[in-house]
Chain A
C-alpha cells in the first residue's frame, strides 16, 4: 500500500515530478560522464606509462631505487631474474635493458638524452615502442643504430639514415662516444620519450656504457594487471636479497596518487550534486505535503499511523531519486558508448602528451562509479524527505481535515 501510494503520489503532478527526475538525471549523467572522462585520462596515463616504459614489474640490483646509477647493475646479466620470470605463470613477456644518460649530437644541435639499450624482439612484446615507429624501421639485427623520437629528430635537424654522435660517461667514469645511424623515428603519447630518449640494441648499449654483460634492469609484463601484486610477491621471494622487485605503482606512485585524487574529487562532486538535488526533492515534497494537508488529515483520521505516513513520504522521495538515478545512468552509459572511440582533444594534444595522454580520451566507467552514487542517493533521498515528513506528522488531524 505504501509503495502504491508513494508511486501514485509521485505522479500526481507529472510535469513537476518529470522536471525533478530530469534534473536528477542530468546531474548524475553529467557527473558520471565527467568522472568517466577524468578516469579515462588517468587510466590512459597509467596504460601509457606501463606500455611505453614501466611494464608491470621491474627487477634491479639492490640499491637502485635509492641510487639509480650505472654502477648499480645486475652483474649476472639478469639471467637469474629472467629464468625465474620465465617459470612464473601469468608472466606474458620479459626483457632486459641497460640505462644511462648522454648527449646526442648532430652537426647542427645537441640534446641531453636518456640512453636505453633494449632487446628488440623481447621489448616489442612489452612496450609499444616497435609499433610507435612512424618513419624508418625498428631496431633489428644490425648494430650501431638508434631510434629517436620525431620531436628530438626535429630539434637536432636529423632524419632517418643520418648519423648522430652519442656521448656518455661509461661505468669507469670516462667520457666516450660513438657515431650511430638513425634507424627510425617514433611518436608515443609520452613527451619525455619523444623528446629525450634514445633506444639502441642492448649489446650496443652495454658496449657504449662499458657494462660488459651486466644489465640495468629486467622488465616484465603480466597477462593482467590484477595479477601484478601476487607476481611481485612471488618474484621478490624467489630472488631474495639479490634483487629489488618493484611494481608499476611503486615505480610511479604519482599515478596511484592521481587515481586516489580523482576518486576523492568524484565524491566531492557527487556530494555537491546531491546536495543541490536534495533541496529540489525537499522543495517538491514540501509543496506536496502542503497541497495534501486535508488528505493527510483524513488518512490520519482513519488510522494511517505516523510511521506509515513517514514511510510513504520517504518512499516517494526514494522513487523519484531512483528514477532520476536510473535515467542518469542510462544517459551516461549511452554517452560512454557513443564516445566509444574516445573524445577528440587534439586541440590540447601537445599539452596532454606531457602527461602521457593521447589526443583521444576514451571514457572509462568502473562498477564503483555506479555503486557510489546509489549509496549517496539513498542517503540524500531520505534526508531530503525528512523535513516534509516531519511537517506531515506534525499536522493535527482535527485541523488538517478542515483545510480546503
Chain B
C-alpha cells in the first residue's frame, strides 16, 4: 500500500502502558497502512496488541511513540474535541458487544451519529430506514437493544457505523459473542457492504471465520507485525 492511497497509517508506532510502575510494551514499532476498500483482519494471540492498534487507529488512544495518520493527517497533538469530531466524520466503530445505547431504539441508534453530524431530520430518517433494510432489520427499527438478539444488535451496530459515511469501519472482535451461523451472516453483510458500497473494514479478531473471509490478514505477535498476507482474487 502506498502512502498516497492509505486511509490509516501507522509509522513506527509504540505503545507502552504503565501500571504501578510496571511497564508493558503493547506495540513495538508497528508499521502498517490500510488502504481504501480493504477488508482486513488484524489477528494474533491475546496480548499481541491488536486491540491497542485498533484503538490508536480509532483515535481512542495516543501512541507512546511513532505516528498514526488518518488520511495523511498526523493525529498527534489534536485535542479531545478535534479527535471527537474526527471520529464522528471519518470513522465508524463496531465493538464486541453491548455496542448500542440501550435507551434508544434501533433506528434511533442508527440516527444517533447523524444527529451529531447535524444531518437534517428528514434525511436522517430516510437514511436510517435504508440502512435498516440494508442490514435486513426492516420492521425492527422501534425495538430497543435489549429486545433484540445479539446478531440483530451487531447488525444495528454495523448500520450505525456506516450511517455517518465514514472513511473506514473499525470492528473490534465483532463476532466474538455470536454463534457461528450468526457470525457468518454478519460477515456476509459486511462483505456485501465492502463489495457493493466500497466500505473499508478493519477487524481485530481471534475468529478463524473472520480471518478466512478477510482479503488481507495482518498477524501481530508481541506488539509487532509478523505476517501481512493479501489473498489474490480467485
Q: Which chain A residue has the least Cβ–Cβ distance from B56?
A: A398
Instruction: Tell me, in angstroms, the Cα distance from A56 to B25 when the chains sit together.
Output: 86
Q: Which of A4, A8, A12, A304 contacts B116 (CB 8 A)?
A: A304
CB of B93 within 8 A of CB of A294, answer no
Chain B residues with CB under 8 A of A298: 93, 95, 98-101
A175 at the interface (CB under 8 A from B): no
CB of B116 within 8 A of CB of A303, answer yes
Instruction: Tell me, in angstroms, the Cα distance from A106 to B32 when the chains sit together.
Output: 115
B104 at the interface (CB under 8 A from A): yes
Interface size on B, residues (CB 8 A): 31
Q: Which of A371-390 contact B (CB under 8 A)?
A: none
> From residue A395, how far is it (CB to closest CB) to chain B in Å?
11
Chain B residues with CB under 8 A of A299: 101
Q: Which of A301-316 contact B (CB under 8 A)?
A: 301-306, 308
A89 at the interface (CB under 8 A from B): no
B219 at the interface (CB under 8 A from A): no
CB of A306 within 8 A of CB of B101, answer no
B60 at the interface (CB under 8 A from A): yes
CB of A301 within 8 A of CB of B60, answer yes
Binds A, one of B35-43, B80-88, B198-206, B223-231: B80-88
CB of B103 within 8 A of CB of A305, answer no
Interface residues of A (CB under 8 A from B): 1, 4-5, 8-9, 12, 294-295, 298-306, 308, 396-398, 401-402, 404
Q: List 5 A-B contacts (CB under 8 A).
A: A298-B98, A303-B87, A396-B60, A401-B60, A404-B98
Q: Which of B87, B102, B104, B172 contacts A302 (CB 8 A)?
A: B87
> From residue A206, how far is it (CB to closest CB) to chain B in Å?
82
Q: Which of B84, B100, B104, B117 contacts A300 (CB 8 A)?
A: B84
Chain B residues with CB under 8 A of A300: 84
CB of B99 within 8 A of CB of A303, answer no
Q: Which of B35-70 contact A (CB under 8 A)?
A: 51, 55, 58, 60-61
Q: Which of A12, A294, A301 contacts B103 (CB 8 A)?
A: A12
Instruction: Tell me, in angstroms, the Cα distance from A9 to B101 when the chains sit together.
Output: 10
Instruction: Say what secondary structure dominates the interface of chain A.
Output: helix
CB of A1 within 8 A of CB of B101, answer no
Known: A9-B103, A303-B87, A303-B164. 13 other contacts (CB 8 A): A5-B103, A8-B103, A12-B102, A294-B98, A298-B98, A298-B99, A300-B84, A303-B85, A303-B89, A305-B81, A397-B60, A398-B58, A401-B172
Chain B residues with CB under 8 A of A306: 80-81, 84
Instruction: Tell me, in angstroms, the Cα distance from A398 to B101 when the chains sit together.
Output: 17
B76 at the interface (CB under 8 A from A): no
> From residue B154, how far is it (CB to closest CB) to chain A in Å?
13
Chain B residues with CB under 8 A of A1: 112, 115-116
Chain B residues with CB under 8 A of A4: 104, 108
CB of A398 within 8 A of CB of B61, answer yes
Chain B residues with CB under 8 A of A5: 101, 103-104
Chain B residues with CB under 8 A of A401: 60, 95, 172
B155 at the interface (CB under 8 A from A): no
Q: Which chain B residue has the least Cβ–Cβ distance from A397?
A: B60
CB of A398 within 8 A of CB of B80, answer no
Evaluate whether A302 and B88 lie within 8 angstroms (CB atoms) in the complex, with A1-B115, A295-B98, A398-B60 already known: yes
> From residue A39, how far is it (CB to closest CB) to chain B in Å?
42
Q: Which chain A residue has the least Cβ–Cβ distance from B170?
A: A301
B220 at the interface (CB under 8 A from A): no
| Listed residue (B87, B89, B92, B117) with the most chain A CB atoms within 10 angstroms of its CB | B87
Q: Which chain A residue has the least Cβ–Cβ distance from B93?
A: A301
